[in-house]
Amino acid sequence: MFESVADVQTIVDPQEAAESAGLKYVSDARAGRRRKTSRSKSSRKGFTHTCADGAKLTDADVIGSVKLLAVPSCRPFTRPYDRAELVADAILHAAWIGFAVTGLALLISMAGGLPGFQGTSVWIYGVGLVTVVATSAAYNAWPLGSTKLLLRRFDQSAIYLFIAASYTPIIAQTDMVSNNIFLVVIWTLACLGLVLKLAFPSRFERLGILLCLTLGWSGLLAYDVVFSPLAPATVCLIMVAGVLYSIGVVFHLWDNLRFQNAIWHGFVLSAAGLQFVAVFHMVSKAAAATG
Give the model confidence (pLDDT) of 56-112 as tens digits: 555 555 445 444 445 777 888 888 899 999 999 999 999 999 999 999 999 888 887
Write down which residue in 15, 46, 70 finishes a domain: 70
Query: 206 vs 56, which has greater pLDDT?
Result: 206
> Judging by DSSP bridges, how do beta strands 46-48 and 24-26 pair with one another?
antiparallel
**Domain range enclosing 10:** 5-70
* pLDDT tens track for 258-284: 999 999 999 999 999 999 999 999 888
Ramachandran assignment for 202, one of left (phi > 0), alpha (psi -120 to 50 degrees), beta (any other): left
State the CB neighbour count (10 A cutoff) for residue 97.
Answer: 15
Residues 61 and 101 in one domain: no
Residues 118 and 173 in one domain: yes
Are the C-beta atoms of residues 244 and 270 closer than 8 Å to each other?
yes
Residues 59 and 123 in one domain: no
Write down which residue in 27, 42, 70 finishes a domain: 70
**CB neighbour list of residue 127: distance below 8 Å, 6 or more residues apart:** 104, 165
What letter does residue 291 receive in the DSSP assignment? -
Tell me the pTM. Answer: 0.75
